[in-house]
Structure 1
Amino acid sequence: MPRAKLTVHLPESLWIREISTAYPDATFRVSSVLPGADVAIGVVELAASNPVPILAAIDDRSDVRDLELLWKHDETALLHIETTDPSLLVPIQRAGVSMETPFAVEDGVVTWELTTSADRLSALGDAFDERGIDYRLEYVRAVDADRAEDLMTNRQLEVFLTALDAGYYDVPRDATLTDVAAALDVTKSTCSDVLHRAESAILRWFADEYVGSRARAR
């Protein structure tokens, strides 16, 4: 079963997107959330140098039905918020993925870590695509019943994501191995070796989790 990290660019219609981009230095840490059909209720910790104008901006939003200040101390405030727009949570519910808290929202971007099956992770990506929600898969790590092991080392992940961003895996390719090596300031042979190890880890995970699960289901 994989554990994944996603960064999701929030839809412009959401209150937290507009407020967090208006105050990019603020951090919204969601400690709990209760989604519904037409409402979402959450407890949010706001960290900012001056929370007062941010609280006023949230309270002015038409899609925020209720805002309650639970406590405030210096640069931190704990809020109970009820919003009438739970649209970001719909893809998660549709894919059947459990939401893990806490998670942070900064400058219009939310970071989520999820532990789920490969099929549900794929369904979540499809649900985001259907709604035009921009997201990026930061990593996928293999998780077994006894212990969690990284699918890739940090270095392998860095090289793989650099190659992916550069267009090395596009069809046709937009970048060569030499381009990727230059972006990382390493030799071509070193880049090739690290990238090959990363690709091997990904393919082995895919074979075990996806191909293997299909074979077992037959």
Structure 2
Amino acid sequence: MVTLIIATIPACELALSDVFASLPDIEIEAERIVKGEENAAMPLLWVRGVEPDDFEAACEADPTIDDLELLADFDEELLYRMQWFDRIGLLFQMLTNANATILEAVGESETWHLRLLYPSREHLSKTKTFCSEHGLSFSIDAIRNMDRDPSGRYGLTSIQYNALITAVDAGYFDVPREVTLDELAAEMNLSHQALSECLRRGTHVLIEDTVLIGAAEFNL
């Protein structure tokens, strides 16, 4: 069964450890990470909380980085393309042997927070075995099996998923609203209070599961 996890990995065991150490306020978010040549990965990274000159100077001293290129400067965030070398064996193991898909990767405070999709629990066990054999840290903060219920993709209960979908279809989130909460509750045969709580909790889960990476607590 397809398995979704959120995991944390120290930067010293993945990439950009020296950058995080020298720039404690930096936040890095991967736009994309693709496998390059045999010992390299080529990520596109959004960089926040630092000036371009300071970031580039820190990158020069980091052995995991090569071929740094600034693609865009939007004042509060920078988009870079680079290559990662050296301590990225864990990354390649996840991308190749374990067939994992990196959905999100955010680095801050010398730690990487990853959202990973594995084809099965058996594939996930390959990453855990690899880390154990190589003395690497791989902390799983949340895990969820993906079944046929579409709510499982987002960490929602079936009731939360159906409530949100019904609310969107009925125009509850439109401006102005096309239906009141009481009308929607009557349509779904729920009380006003039950539906209100369902929508709030479902929205909370979606925000954690899509925006606040590393903070989600999945409904298993």
* TM-score, length-scaled by structure 2: 0.61
Q: Does the C-alpha gap of structure 1 residues 52 and 40 become closer, same or farther in structure 2, counting only changes over 3 Å?
A: same
Identity of aligned residues (%): 21
Whole-angstrom CA distance in 1 between matches of 2:145 and 2:89: 29
Moved more, 56-65 or 71-80: 56-65
Whole-angstrom CA distance in 2 between matches of 1:61 and 1:114: 25
Match for residue 109 of structure 1 among 104, 108, 111? 111
Where structure 2 has 5 or more consecutive residues not aligned to the other structure, the ranges are 158-218
Partner residue of 2:184?
A: none
Q: Which amino acid aligns with 2:28?
A: F
- Shift of residue 26, structure 1, vs aligned partner: 0.7
Q: Which secondary structure does the structure 2 equivalent of 1:96 belong to?
A: coil
Q: Contact (CA 8 Å) 2:16, 2:64: kept in 1 or not? A: no
CA RMSD of aligned residues (A): 2.5
Q: Does the C-alpha gap of structure 1 residues 46 and 119 become closer, same or farther in structure 2, counting only changes over 3 Å?
A: same
CA displacement, residues 157-188 of structure 1 (integer Å, 9 cap, x when unaligned): xxxxxxxxxxxxxxxxxxxxxxxxxxxxxxxx
Partner residue of 2:51?
A: 50
Partner residue of 2:199?
A: none
Q: Which secondary structure does the structure 1 equivalent of 2:29 belong to?
A: strand
Match for residue 141 of structure 2 among 134, 138, 153? 138
Whole-angstrom CA distance in 1 between matches of 2:66 and 2:134: 24
Partner residue of 1:120?
A: 123
Q: Contact (CA 8 Å) 1:3, 1:143: kept in 2 or not? A: yes
Whole-angstrom CA distance in 2 between matches of 1:61 and 1:20: 10
- Shift of residue 55, structure 1, vs aligned partner: 1.7
Partner residue of 2:21?
A: 21
Query: Is 1:34 the counterpart of 2:37 in the alignment?
Result: no
Q: Contact (CA 8 Å) 2:66, 2:83: kept in 1 or not? A: yes
- Shift of residue 49, structure 1, vs aligned partner: 4.2
Q: Contact (CA 8 Å) 2:48, 2:77: kept in 1 or not? A: yes
Whole-angstrom CA distance in 1 between matches of 2:57 and 2:130: 33
Show the 5 A alignment for 1:41-190: 41-85=42-86, 86-116=88-118, 117-149=120-152, 150=155
Whole-angstrom CA distance in 1 between matches of 2:34 and 2:127: 19
Q: Contact (CA 8 Å) 2:72, 2:80: kept in 1 or not? A: yes
Q: Contact (CA 8 Å) 1:91, 1:128: kept in 2 or not? A: no
CA displacement, residues 129-170 of structure 1 (integer Å, 9 cap, x when unaligned): 222211211111131123233499xxxxxxxxxxxxxxxxxx
Q: How many residues align?
A: 153
- Shift of residue 84, structure 1, vs aligned partner: 2.6
Structure 1 segments of 4 or more deviating over 4 A?
Answer: none
- Shift of residue 99, structure 1, vs aligned partner: 2.5
CA displacement, residues 38-93 of structure 1 (integer Å, 9 cap, x when unaligned): 11111111001434212221134344220111111223111010133232313213
Whole-angstrom CA distance in 2 between matches of 1:74 and 1:151: 36
Whole-angstrom CA distance in 2 between matches of 1:128 and 1:69: 33
Q: Does the C-alpha gap of structure 1 residues 121 and 33 become closer, same or farther in structure 2, counting only changes over 3 Å?
A: same
Where structure 1 has 5 or more consecutive residues not aligned to the other structure, the ranges are 153-200, 203-218
Whole-angstrom CA distance in 1 between matches of 2:62 and 2:142: 34
Q: Which amino acid aligns with 2:151?
A: A
Query: Is 1:5 the counterpart of 2:10 in the alignment?
Result: no
